[in-house]
Structure 1
Amino acid sequence: MRLIREIDDTVITREEMNMQDITFNVRKSSRAIVSNSSKQIAIIYVSKDKYHKLPGGGIEKGENYMSALNRELMEEAGVEVTVLGEIGMIIEYRKDHRLLQISNCYATEMIGELVEPSLTKDERSKGFVLKWVDLAEAISLLENDQPRNYAGKFIKERDLTFLKEAARMNE
């Protein structure tokens, strides 16, 4: 997977970061740009914290990137997909959370019928709402988001980068 960006607090909070003094916990995750037959993509609005995100999430014990991707897409978007290709990898260094997150993002296409997402209790409490929009609208929505929390600012930056990379690859 090709590394397309690294994001840290100097990007998010404009604070200098000395990473030599921080022990990070590593979290690996899979995300996707899921397109449907109408060429719209799935994005999730996190209503509690006022930002949009791509469907996807962390790899759990016993999973690999693909099995985590399939589980997360069913949970958050209610879709099964076929993977069309790789978008790229982004590494986030979240100093306040002592988190080093590695996100692999894939271009996918929905197969079969849309089913009701099976959101976790945490996702329901954050007010996850699934939307289907075209790629340009997804980019615009994320560009105009103003996340209320630290994690949301990283998520916005990460997923906006993935969307812009997908648009560049589609040119």
Structure 2
Amino acid sequence: MIRRFGEPPQNGQRYTRRPGAYALLPRDGRFLLTCQYDPDPDLQLPGGGIDPGESPISALHREVHEETGWNIATPRKLGVFRRFVYMPEYDLWAEKLCHIFVARPVLQLGPPREKNHEAVWMDQEKAAGLLGNPGDRHFAMQFTMPMASY
């Protein structure tokens, strides 16, 4: 059974399954996050949809780079959750299957390539309370690995 966060599915609403890969990116007591400004400001774990034929790890590297401008190393899966949401940018009701990883941010190559995204460094405890969805907040709060190992 995959744990659900957020609103329950609405009766009678059809949902499209959308797998995605997302990362906790710790460094020096802070997380590297992304803020998506459209349609409204939303603080998120960097990541996004896994394209057909793409592995979760490949998607993770691609999405983190697009949303933060950073390359990552040593991704390790922490868990998975699902949430039922409307995605206005796609006009789609989705069952998002969110695969959560922890990885090490190693090199900033430039600014985010994804439109309306900004890379943000934030204290871990503060980030855990401000992330925009309860699944992201759960994994940020549960993260207990020593920073020295990343």
TM over 0.5: yes
- CA distance in 1 between counterparts of 2:111 and 2:53 reads 22
* Identity over aligned pairs, percent: 22
Match of 1:164 among 118, 141, 145: 141
Give me the CA root mean square deviation: 2.5
In structure 2, the residue matched to 1:116 is 110
Report if the CA contact (8 A) 1:30-1:59 is conserved: yes
In structure 2, the residue matched to 1:6 is 4
- CA distance in 2 between counterparts of 1:163 and 1:105 reads 10
In structure 1, the residue matched to 2:122 is 133
Higher strand share: 2
In structure 1, the residue matched to 2:96 is 101
In structure 2, the residue matched to 1:24 is 15
Taking structure 1 as the reference length, the TM-score comes to: 0.70
Deviations 1:123-154 (A, max 9, x none): x2xx3221112211212333xxxxxxxxxxxx
- CA distance in 1 between counterparts of 2:60 and 2:75 reads 13
Shift of 1:65: 0.3
Higher helix share: 1
**Higher alpha-carbon deviation: 46-55 or 23-32:** 46-55
Report SS of the residue matched to 2:137.
helix
Distance 1:84 1:60, change over 3 A: closer
Taking structure 2 as the reference length, the TM-score comes to: 0.79
Match of 1:82 among 73, 79, 88: 73
Count of residues paired in the alignment: 141
Report if the CA contact (8 A) 2:130-2:137 is conserved: no
Distance 1:84 1:158, change over 3 A: same
Deviations 1:99-140 (A, max 9, x none): 1110001011122x21114423xxx2xx32211122112123
Note the residue ranges of structure 2 that are not aligned, 5 or more in a row: none
Match of 2:31 among 38, 41, 44: 41
Report if the CA contact (8 A) 1:83-1:106 is conserved: no
- CA distance in 2 between counterparts of 1:128 and 1:156 reads 17
